A and B are shown apart, each in its own frame.
Chain A
Amino acid sequence: MVLCDGVISEEDAMINAHQIKGGNKMKQKVSIIFTGLLIVLMLFVVGCAKEEASNEGATNESVAGGENTTNEKSELSGTLTFAIWDNNLNTFIEENDMVGKFQKHYPDVDIEVEKMKDDSEYWNAMKMRASANQLPDIMFNKPFTLSRFQDFLLDIGDTQAAQNNLLAEGYAVDGKILGVPLTSGYEYVYYWKDLFEEANVEVPTTWEEFEQVSLTLQEYYGKDNQDFMALAIGLKDEWPNYPFMEFMPALESGNGENWNRMASQDRPFEKGQDVYEAYHKIYNFFNSGVLGRDPLGIGNDQATSIFATKGAAMIALGDWGLQNIAAGAQDISELGTFYLPARNSVDEPYNVIVQGDSFMGVTTHSTIPEAAIAFVEWFYSDEWYPDYINYVSSDSSMKNFPKEKNSVLAQADQTVSEIQWVMYNGGNDAFSSIQNETTFDYKKLGAEMRIDGFDFETVFEDLNQRWTEAREKLNID
Chain B
Amino acid sequence: MQSLNKKKKIFIGTSLVIPMLLLIGFVVVPAIDLFRMSFIEWDGYSPDTRFVGVSNYISMFKNKDLWLSLKNNSVYFFVHFFMIFFELGFAVLLNSKIKGAKFYKTMVFLPYIINGVAIAYAFSYFYSPINGAFNSILELLQLESWIRSWLSDPKIVNYVLASVSVWRFSGYHVILFLAALQSIPKDIEEAAKVDGANGWHLFRYIQIPGIMLMVDFVLFDNIRGALQVFDIPFVMTAGGPGYASSTFTLYTIKTAFSFSNFGLASTMAIAIMFMIVIIYIIQNNIIHKVLFKDRGQKND
A interface residues, Cβ below 8 angstroms from B:
35, 38-39, 42-43, 46, 54, 123-124, 126-128, 130-131, 148-149, 151-152, 227, 235-238, 292-299, 302, 306, 311, 432, 435-436, 439, 441, 444, 447-448, 450-452
Which residues does chain A contribute within 8 Å of B237, judged by CB atoms? 236
Which residues does chain A contribute within 8 Å of B32, judged by CB atoms? 39, 43
User: Looking at chain B, what size class is its interface with the partner chain?
Assistant: 35 or more
Pair count A-B, CB < 8 A? 107
For B239, the closest partner residue in chain A by CB is A444
**How many Å from the CB of A171 to the closest CB on chain B?**
20
Q: Which of B1-25 contact A (CB under 8 A)?
A: 20-21, 24-25
**How many Å from the CB of A158 to the closest CB on chain B?**
26
Which of A292, A302, A306, A436 is the one whose CB lies under 8 Å from B43? A436
* Contacting pair A42 B29 (CB below 8 A): yes
* Contacting pair A296 B152 (CB below 8 A): yes
* Contacting pair B149 A436 (CB below 8 A): no
Cα–Cα, bound, A136→B69 (Å): 35
B interface residues, Cβ below 8 angstroms from A:
20-21, 24-25, 28-29, 32, 43-47, 65, 124-125, 127-131, 149-152, 154, 236-238, 240-242, 244, 255, 257-261
**How many Å from the CB of B256 to the closest CB on chain A?**
8
Can you name 6 extra interface pairs (CB under 8 A) apart from A39-B28, A127-B257, A236-B237? Answer: A127-B260, A130-B44, A227-B131, A235-B241, A298-B130, A452-B154
Which residues does chain B contribute within 8 Å of A35, judged by CB atoms? 20, 24
* Contacting pair A447 B24 (CB below 8 A): no
* Contacting pair A236 B45 (CB below 8 A): no
Question: Could you list 12 examples of A-B contacts with CB < 8 Å?
Answer: A130-B44, A131-B44, A151-B46, A235-B241, A292-B130, A294-B129, A296-B151, A298-B130, A299-B124, A436-B260, A439-B259, A451-B242
* Contacting pair B20 A148 (CB below 8 A): no
Which residues does chain A contribute within 8 Å of B28, judged by CB atoms? 39, 42
Question: Given that A46-B29, A237-B238, A238-B238 are known contacts, is A294 also in contact with B152, CB under 8 Å in the complex?
Answer: yes
* Contacting pair A448 B130 (CB below 8 A): no
Cα–Cα, bound, A359→B25 (Å): 37
Cα–Cα, bound, A441→B241 (Å): 13
**How many Å from the CB of A440 to the closest CB on chain B?**
9
For A297, the closest partner residue in chain B by CB is B129
Which residues does chain A contribute within 8 Å of B241, judged by CB atoms? 235, 296, 447-448, 450-451
For B255, the closest partner residue in chain A by CB is A439
Which residues does chain A contribute within 8 Å of B244, judged by CB atoms? 451
Which residues does chain B contribute within 8 Å of A296, judged by CB atoms? 149, 151-152, 240-241
**How many Å from the CB of A455 to the closest CB on chain B?**
12
